[in-house]
Amino acid sequence: MDISIATPKGKVNKKRNGRYLRIATHIGALLPLAWLVWQFFQNDLGTDPVRAITLRTGKMTIILLMLSLAVTPLNKLLGWKQIIPLRKPLGLYAFLYVSLHLLTFIWLDYGLNWAFIVDGIFEQPYVLIGFAAYLLLIPLAVTSTKWAMRRLGKNWKRLHKLVYLIGALGVIHFFWLVKVYTRPIMYGSVMALLLLTRLGPVKRQLVRWRRSLQKLRK
């Protein structure tokens, strides 16, 4: 008679793999920032360093936001439970980059001249859209703690659904900011696909596909 017994080794391996994934996430999120800072001090950001910083911090914001949104559908489709804890750091790193994106605008671009900053926000539609996305992202970052999750209860999930609206606003902001639309269209397509995975029928289909894959592996 074959009796399967869960061994401590399996749990240790899962914890170790989870730790490696978290380390890789931190390194992967911080490397672009370290490289950007290095290039800035080496005067290696081209003829318009402010625009280079603006674009690169904005791109990293959208990429990290999409990665955080991809965690749940990937878990539903492939059963990768180890990646679930990565959703929080990915979201917080997205907030870090968008904060640097805004700081570049108000400090390096507008020299902390608040009159010009206010005019820039309300006179340029892409700036207004981006600023709105940032304001919506602040409560999500503030309530990312376990204490906030317990305190808000079911309202926490309702609040954090704003991330899809924030992602859409970010793509629109990026679309208006650049002159070549290939990347904004690509990011918008990925964001739309991730939004579709939130729909009930799509979520159920992902679960069915995962079960089918598990049967094939057996």
Residues 106-149: tens digit of each pLDDT: 998 888 888 888 888 888 888 889 999 999 999 999 998 888 88
Ranges of each domain in the chain: 8-217
Q: Is 6 left (phi over 0), alpha (psi -120 to 50) or beta?
A: beta
pLDDT at position 17: 78
- In terms of Cα–Cα distance, which of 32, 38, 37, 49 is closest to 93? 32
Band of residue 2 on the pLDDT scale cut at 50, 70, 90: very low
Number of helices (H) and strands (E) in the chain: give both, helices first: 10, 0
Residue 3: pLDDT above 70?
Answer: no
Residue 1: pLDDT above 50?
Answer: no
Residue 10: pLDDT above 60?
Answer: no
pLDDT digits (tens, 9 = 90+) for 13-63: 777 777 889 999 999 999 999 999 999 999 999 889 999 999 999 999 999
The whole-angstrom separation of Cα 38 and Cα 57 is 14
pTM listed for this prediction: 0.85
The whole-angstrom separation of Cα 91 and Cα 94 is 5
- To the nearest 10 degrees (0 to 180), the angle between helices 8-41 and 87-103 is 10
pLDDT at position 6: 45
Burial call 99-117: b when 16+ CB within 10 Å, e when fewer: bbbbebbbeebbeeeeeeb
Residue 72: pLDDT above 70?
Answer: yes
Band of residue 5 on the pLDDT scale cut at 50, 70, 90: very low
pLDDT digits (tens, 9 = 90+) for 73-110: 888 777 778 888 899 999 999 999 999 999 999 998 88
Residue 177: pLDDT above 50?
Answer: yes
